[in-house]
């Protein structure tokens, strides 16, 4: 019986000089690079009053102009929308998208009223509020207004980092 080390030094069948163990290591690392899947749970029955208040405030903000650092009816950025919506429900969250992402406990599947985080690597650069039915309410950026968007878009799927549920 050959040792594992001897087998790992064999070239690939096509003559490539990559050892088997190296290839297994590369496949393992690539599997770890897969981004999380954006999963949702649209059961609206039994939503807490806090979640309903968050969603109501976020819907009231639709059409508000984007303003970097904004957290009022004069203008909102993405984390300002979250801050204002959660304050309306009597809940405190950190001010920035990345602080929210880093400090709030992650969940597997977002329910209406939960937060969805987007970015690259381990840093969140955008946050939205899950509205249900595959839709998110968010403040998209300069020159735009608070709006809803479909989470089915590749843009969001590729940048999804995770979700959190600050509301009970």
Q: What is the C-alpha to C-alpha distance for residues 133 and 72, in angstroms, rounded to an integer?
A: 27
Pairing of strands 147-150, 135-138: antiparallel
The answer to whether 24 is a known catalytic residue is no
| Active-site entry in 51, 96, 138, 163 | 138
Q: What is the C-alpha to C-alpha distance for residues 164 and 167, in angstroms, rounded to an integer?
A: 9
| Active-site entry in 70, 97, 116, 126 | 126
The answer to whether 33 is a known catalytic residue is no
Q: Which of 39, 54, 64, 55 is nearest to 139 (CA)?
A: 64
| Active-site entry in 53, 61, 78, 167 | 78
Tokens 């309410």 found at: 137
The answer to whether 138 is a known catalytic residue is yes
Q: Would you name the residues annotated as active-site residues?
A: 78, 126, 138
């Amino acid at each position: 019986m050959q040792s594992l080390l001897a087998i790992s030094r064999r070239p690939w069948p096509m003559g490539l000089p990559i050892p088997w163990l190296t290839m297994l290591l590369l496949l393992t690392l690539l599997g770890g690079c897969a981004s999380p899947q954006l999963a949702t749970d649209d059961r609206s029955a039994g939503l807490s009053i806090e979640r309903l208040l968050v969603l109501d405030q976020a819907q009231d903000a639709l059409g508000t102009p984007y303003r970097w650092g904004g957290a009022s009816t004069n203008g909102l950025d993405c984390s300002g929308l979250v801050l204002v919506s959660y304050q309306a429900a009597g809940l405190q969250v950190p001010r920035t998208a990345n602080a929210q992402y880093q400090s709030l406990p992650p969940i597997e599947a977002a329910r209406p009223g939960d937060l969805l985080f987007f970015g690259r690597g381990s840093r969140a650069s955008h946050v939205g509020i899950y509205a249900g039915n595959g839709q998110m309410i968010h403040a998209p950026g300069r020159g735009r207004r608070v709006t809803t968007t479909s989470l089915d878009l590749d843009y969001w799927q590729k940048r999804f980092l995770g979700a959190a549920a600050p509301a009970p």
